[in-house]
Structure 1
């Protein structure tokens, strides 16, 4: 083999090795990308997600987050879709197209989105609302202000005109969550987006209220000028702030894999947050931070604080990283970390009379390395003083609304709270409140009286007057324990007034109004007629049945006799005229009859009184001879003298 062939062989070997190497690297990259894509789909495909782009014309998939955004048409029936002015369009990373469309509410005091997560009541939910004015009305307004409610309780007051969002972790005691915008007289309320995330059994909860996220800090990570970031593998889809600075700190990071799926850390932070951290600068041994409330409350606020760690450095043998946490003067620790293993310390609950949360993380005297911190979260406990309306009453009034197709702007959200009740409703001050009065007079109602009205068991006054209601008056109204006023006048009701209602009316326990129902029977005779009606019907049916049976028997008998006569007539071949002429008053002796019938040889029929025999007269004519039976009322001797008729 010459040198050229040897060189060519080496080249072939190297090409094969390069191809194998490239294939191996590509397979590793594909596997890595598949794993990452799988994780990144975790948040987007979470069945506990509701993502609404308010004002959007159609659903769409956001490529940055993998989240499918729905239009809001299935969540609210009021308001108008708008778009921001072209010069105010925003390209917002990780927020879909929400910044460029919105829904406004020029009508109604309160307009509510209705969210029905499939996980139902007694669960924790992360709710987030987005707002951006964007000069959609070309008025360049700067003073718009309105209130935002979660259920029946105040959440926040929206005052920012630039792109902003508000968050709350809400423990819902009902299957339905209402997010309501309340007009306070300072401009038309609007909203750009609404998110709901199911929190499962996370540690983010307060049984006595909700949690308002104040700071969710991702430390040591991306460019702080980005402001905030949401990560695809965050199962709770939190928005992390990148611009939080701890005093005199520097960033640190790793590309090593951190197994968040196999971790028992309950907060389930995304891996991108855990891969970065901060530590003191220039060999210092302390990290510190303070948060001050913007607005003072009329109560002493409470906070929950979470600290998140993951050791991202491989510490040399014999060295240790050990630290303590001081939170508003309270000391916790010492703590140590394991390499690449997530650790959440907290939550710590504290009251803050001075409206400030302060903490420091300090290395212990035994520590060889400075402290680190990957992330932290500060939540404000938000009291929920008001309870939603009694659920039975809510279900009843919703069924009434559906039955009569009531379309009123203010019939949305909770019926009794927060500020004013629905038009036509009055509620008491119980906890939870109850519906005690319902006025649907002159509301164009039609059809029967809805049985769901009977589920308003605390109601005192019910006015359904001047509508187009038909059918009968429900006797069960008498069973409502608190009902003292029932106005059904001016309808088209029929039938009798239930006796129990008349008794309550006569005893003045119930003010009953039925005037204007022209077909409604108000006298006792209606009841008597009503009672006698079944008896008359039964008697009539029996009489008709008997007559019909007798007619059938008669017809059957006549047909039978008719068939016999036809047969005999055919047999003898004589006309009826001839028979009547020849047989009149012609007597025969018994001896003659024996001769005529050939000793009663041929039977041609049998009737109820005896047998009929064929006979032949001397002139050749055929005759029928009837012989009376012994059981007949007529005697045998008398029959011998009876006339005989010829067969026609």
Structure 2
């Protein structure tokens, strides 16, 4: 790969830019992008629009899809148009059959986003960053597009997923609220197209939430799950002006409750920091039978969610001397806090922190109580991790300067780098939870004019810059040619035609060369010499019963089940005739399989090389690959001991490649799909098409084209092209995490979160039970799991020299297996359930602090 030089910037100096096309194409796969530019005039309009929204302190109220501002008759809240907060989208009205006087006016219209993957509103409240806000987004489809197709899309705050938006029917109103502390002055609220319909939004509101009682942990936000006005007598939603923070309280009653209320006012604004609406606290419920408990359930369906539950109480009755109300709060059978004695006409709030797929609340009166328990209101929040950092602020400032000074015509909105896809024309570093940086800026075909902004020099991680705009100067001053315009235009047109012709010729030439390369590769394959049997194509057809049963598919061909004449079952991998690149991988794999022999590597049986038909035949593995066995679609989950056996087998196979072969071999594509299992669940590493030999014993690394699978790819190898045995160690660490958690390397259900990023916060809390695959049902020794977890995390530091060798990994995993075996024997002898609650301090194995899990 060609060396990319960083530009040096100084006044009056010439700037040279070089870009290797291959590197851009490889990185482009990860960063396909979409966003738009805002002019200085529009920015001024935006600021002017925000200053109108001061009726509620520090608030922004946007009715999306309207042109003119108005004040809501019911709430007195002034709503403004969204035209000064976003540049993209189309204004639409919902179908007339859904409009009514009872439907809030801000739901009558929407802004729809048929263009682009990511469309973002920019909110800039006057209080700025590090201030607590609550943000509310409202959605009602109302068949605005006359398609009667309910869309589904994602909602982001900044660079982190807020929630998924889906609808039950066209009149379903979806309201999402979040209490959030931004770390930048600008807060982006983005709608992401997930391929399930066009995103849209009805209203967007932001409120300054100066209330310290709602505690927000570091790198988390509170997402509203439920907020109930319990015992409501009106059945109406309560919000501003009754609620000074404009929280929305929804009526909630159950058949087994008796609602009751008071006509006396409850002064919460001066008495409590929660500032609960008097209209909400003036109603309550109690059980029908005075001796019964007050019970209700919340079914979340997700065992990983953490909740903060705020329970609000106020005594509404004037109690006599011999009357007393006192009760306990039980959640999921556990006693929470001390007993509650509600204050007369004054609010008392109890905070309960709980986790689980189902929350069972039970209020039970104490023995001293003569009156049943009550409940006036409650709020339930999900504590949601917001782990991703926005793009480096200096890079954001620099790229915004480029956008404004050069009048970029590409769609640039929200954070430049995250969530993916990034801005069109940018390539960013993938720094995990750390701030991303811009590594490549492509300004070609952007219709830019003038000189490139000097702020580009502030992009400290920039490695490449592409121009390609005829009116864009790479050095100052720019000479303005006003008279001689026709000649440059003709010259540019002719040049474009010449370039187009050259590209067509090159494309044709490359196709011919690719075809010749395929033929040369097949000819090279004929020179393969081995003691292994060479099969004719007709024999392969017979072995596979005319390719009847497919057992797998890959990027370069299909794998079929076969049976030899002696009854031996085999797998036959046939190269796709249309694959030119794959032929090289087939030759590599065949040559390597002829040289290596180990009980934990797939055994080579033979090959076929006849005409354009090329195939590899190896032993058949009856239980498929590890990815299939770990899938949640699998009926019977692997036990923890079986998983450890598989881990040891696979580690031994890799250790043999690294240390038992001369020269050493790097697999380069270690993943669960390339670990095969036989009928005894013995694991064998397969698919050596990307493998590389180390040509020299004293060579520390190879510089090579990047190959591998997303999620398993060594970050250092990806960014530097430096390949070592420790690249395989990183990939194996991901495999080991999959064995422990039962989750894939990239979790689509968690906004495409990488498994390391998902595990880290749970490790920090020492919460091993939430990490381990729930299908194991606690049947494992905790010490064994923790040691395996240590080993996995030791394999995945970003810097390769911090990772252990595969020999060390094998030793650690064998110890894990011995611990588990001893635990099973002890449990079987004593008749105890296979469920351990042991904990111990972790040995971080010499890792730096940020990579080692914290003590439990």
1:127 match: 135
- Judge conservation of contact 1:442–1:467 (CA < 8 Å) in 2: no
Aligned Cα RMSD in Å?
Answer: 2.1
**Scaled by the length of structure 1, what TM-score is found?**
0.62
Contact kept in structure 1, 2:402 and 2:452, CA below 8 Å: no
Q: Is 1:284 aligned to residue 288 of structure 2? A: no
- C-alpha distance in structure 1 between counterparts of 2:429 and 2:296, whole Å: 48
CA distance in 2, matches of 1:194, 1:112: 12
Q: 1:92 to 1:175 in 2, by over 3 A?
A: farther
- State yes or no: 1:106 paired with 2:114: yes
Pairwise CA distance, 1:292: 0.4
Alignment match, 1:362: 364
1:158-169 equivalent positions in 2, closer than 5 A: 158-160=165-167, 161=170, 162-169=172-179
Q: Could you tell me which residue of structure 1 aligns to residue 159 of structure 2? A: 152
What are the residue-to-residue correspondences of 1:23-422 with 2, within 5 Å? 45-92=55-102, 95=104, 97-141=105-149, 143-160=150-167, 161=170, 162-204=172-214, 205-224=216-235, 226=236, 228-245=237-254, 248-263=256-271, 265-293=272-300, 295-296=301-302, 300-331=304-335, 332-346=337-351, 348-352=352-356, 355-409=357-411, 411-422=412-423
**What residue in structure 1 maps to residue 448 of structure 2?**
445
Q: Is the 8 A contact 1:292 1:356 kept in 2?
A: yes
Q: Is there any run of 5+ residues in structure 2 with no aligned partner, and where?
A: 1-52, 478-491, 493-856
Structure 1 residues 46, 398: closer, same or farther in 2, change over 3 A?
A: same
**Do 1:231 and 1:270's aligned partners in 2 also have CA atoms closer than 8 Å?**
no
SS in 2 for 1:136: coil
Give 1:473 deviation, angstroms: 5.1
Provide the residue aligned with 1:7 in structure 2: none
Query: Counterpart of 1:87 in 2: which secondary structure?
Result: helix
Structure-2 separation of matches of 1:257 and 1:372: 18
Residue 470 and residue 426 in structure 1: after superposition, are their counterparts in 2 closer, same or farther (change >3 A)? closer
Residues 426 and 470 (structure 1), Cα distance of their counterparts in 2 relative to 1, 3 Å cut: closer
SS in 2 for 1:229: coil
Question: 1:44–1:67: 8 Å Cα contact kept in structure 2?
Answer: no
Mapped partners of 1:398, 1:70: distance in 2: 26
User: Structure 1 residue 463: deviation in Å?
Assistant: 2.4
Distance 2:181 2:381 in 1: 14
Partner of 1:626: none
* Structure with the higher fraction of residues in strand conformation: 1
Q: What is the CA deviation profile of residues 171-194 of structure 1, one whole-angstrom value per residue up to 9, with x for unaligned ones? A: 211111111111122222111111
Contact 2:140/2:173, CA 8 A, preserved across alignment:
yes
Contact 2:231–2:252 under 8 Å retained in 1: no
- Could you say if the C-alpha distance between residues 47 and 467 of structure 1 is closer, same or farther in structure 2, counting changes exceeding 3 Å? farther
CA shift at 1:73, angstroms?
0.6
The 3-state SS of whatever aligns with 2:324 is coil
User: Aligned-pair distance for 1:285?
Assistant: 4.1
Higher gyration radius (CA): 1
Deviation at 1:127, TM superposition (A): 1.3
1:172 match: secondary structure: coil
TM-score, structure 2 as length reference: 0.47
Q: Which runs of 5+ in 1 are unaligned?
A: 1-42, 475-489, 491-648
Q: Compared with structure 1, are the counterparts of its residues 270 and 448 closer, same or farther at alpha carbon in structure 2 (3 Å cutoff)?
A: same
User: How far off is 1:327 after superposition?
Assistant: 1.8
Give 1:617's aligned residue.
none
Counterpart Cα distance in 1 of 2:269 and 2:386: 34
CA contact (8 A) 1:447 1:471 kept: no
- CA distances 1:42-90 after superposition (whole Å, capped 9, x unpaired): x983222111100112100001011000110111010110111212214
User: In structure 2, do the counterparts of structure 1 residues 152 and 180 end up closer, same or farther at CA, with 3 Å as the change threshold?
Assistant: same
The answer to whether the Cα contact below 8 Å between 1:90 and 1:99 also exists between their aligned partners in 2 is no
Instruction: Tell me the matched-pair count.
Output: 419
